[in-house]
């Protein structure tokens, strides 16, 4: 399945296209499509006034594009909260089905869902849910692999990718877990963690996709 226009809007939003130019290469990488497909879709989106497109420089969202992207991201993250809280979904299942639901969720349903869930600030994977006007509450974070050994921190966000989510959930990692690196094997080898008093080992690759509180003074 090729990504549709809404996936492009979300990708540009996540790559910072609210206030800076995002280049085509990054969009192609994110969506895993050929550069030619990106150029074609951006042409369409420009004609529909969803983006400003400067050839050879990049793209950013117009007001219209920004509102559309925000409502998609809100829909996605609110559905994830709903699916996990009320239907017993796993971390990866919630993300998978939210990908589908976000495309068919009218604004009225998003706002009722928000109200029903009592205005959650984060999705179950720790990503901030933007307010309807696009404001987000940003907390400074760093990836776990950069946390110095022996320093206590907390898991705040994880990258939303199916295999990673299943792997982390199997290891008992949840948002808010207290975490401390006990040891780090040489040459990007596995990390030994103290996770809520339990000893857990995870790969270096996974540690690069786990975000923890920013270490003070860094």
**Subset of 146-205 contacting Zn ion (CB under 5 A):** none
Report d(CA 98, CA 87) in Å as an integer. 13
Shortest spacing between CB 168 and Zn ion, in angstroms: 13
Shortest spacing between CB 80 and Zn ion, in angstroms: 4
Segment near Zn ion (CB under 5 A); pick from 43-51, 58-66, 74-82, 83-91: 74-82
Question: Which of residues 10, 74, 125, 157 is near Zn ion by CB under 5 A?
Answer: 125
- As a whole number of Å, the CA-based R_g of the chain is 19
Dihedral of the CA atoms 115, 63, 29, 201 (nearest 10)? -30
* Contacts with 152 (C-beta within 8 Å, 6 or more apart), sequence order: 178, 179, 180
Shortest spacing between CB 24 and Zn ion, in angstroms: 26
Shortest spacing between CB 197 and Zn ion, in angstroms: 27
Shortest spacing between CB 193 and Zn ion, in angstroms: 22
Nearest residue (CB) to Zn ion, 49 versus 170: 170
> Do 113 and 129 form a contact (C-beta atoms < 8 A)?
no
Does 123 bind Zn ion (CB under 5 A)? Our answer is yes
Segment near Zn ion (CB under 5 A); pick from 115-123, 162-170, 190-198, 201-209: 115-123
List phi, psi (to 5°) of 170.
-60, -35
Nearest residue (CB) to Zn ion, 125 versus 156: 125
Does 80 bind Zn ion (CB under 5 A)? Our answer is yes
Does 11 bind Zn ion (CB under 5 A)? Our answer is no
Element (H, E) at 194: strand 191-195
Nearest residue (CB) to Zn ion, 95 versus 147: 95
- The b-or-e profile of 139-148 (16+ CB within 10 A means b, else e) is eebbebbebe
Segment near Zn ion (CB under 5 A); pick from 51-59, 117-125, 131-139, 188-196: 117-125
* Contacts with 189 (C-beta within 8 Å, 6 or more apart), sequence order: 204
Task: Tell me the two tokens of residue 66.
Answer: 């920004």
DSSP notation for 67-107 = HHHHHHHHHHHHHHHHHHHHH---HHHHHHHHHHHGGG--H
- Please work out the total of residues on this chain that contact Zn ion, with binding judged by CB under 5 A: 3
Nearest residue (CB) to Zn ion, 33 versus 158: 158
Nearest residue (CB) to Zn ion, 42 versus 78: 78
Residues of this chain that interact with Zn ion (CB under 5 A) are 80, 123, 125
């Amino acid at each position: 399945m090729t990504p549709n226009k809404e996936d492009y809007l979300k990708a540009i939003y996540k790559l910072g296209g609210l206030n800076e130019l995002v280049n085509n290469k990054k969009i192609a990488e994110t969506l895993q499509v050929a550069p030619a497909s990106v150029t074609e879709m951006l042409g369409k989106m420009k004609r529909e006034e969803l983006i400003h497109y400067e050839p050879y420089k990049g793209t950013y969202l117009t007001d219209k594009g920004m509102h559309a992207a925000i409502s998609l991201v809100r829909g996605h993250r609110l559905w994830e909260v709903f699916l996990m809280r009320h239907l017993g979904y796993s971390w990866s299942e919630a993300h998978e089905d939210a990908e589908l639901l976000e495309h068919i969720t009218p604004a009225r349903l998003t706002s009722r869902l928000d109200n029903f869930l009592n205005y959650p600030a984060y999705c179950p994977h720790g990503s901030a849910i933007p307010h309807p006007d696009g404001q987000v509450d940003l907390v400074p974070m760093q990836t776990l692999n950069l946390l110095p050994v022996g320093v206590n921190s907390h898991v705040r966000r994880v990258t939303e990718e199916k295999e990673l989510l299943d792997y982390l959930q199997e290891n008992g990692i949840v948002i808010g877990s207290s975490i401390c690196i006990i040891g780090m094997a040489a040459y990007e080898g596995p990390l030994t963690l103290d996770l809520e008093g339990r000893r857990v080992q995870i790969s270096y690759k996974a540690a690069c996709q786990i975000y923890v509180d920013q270490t003070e003074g860094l």
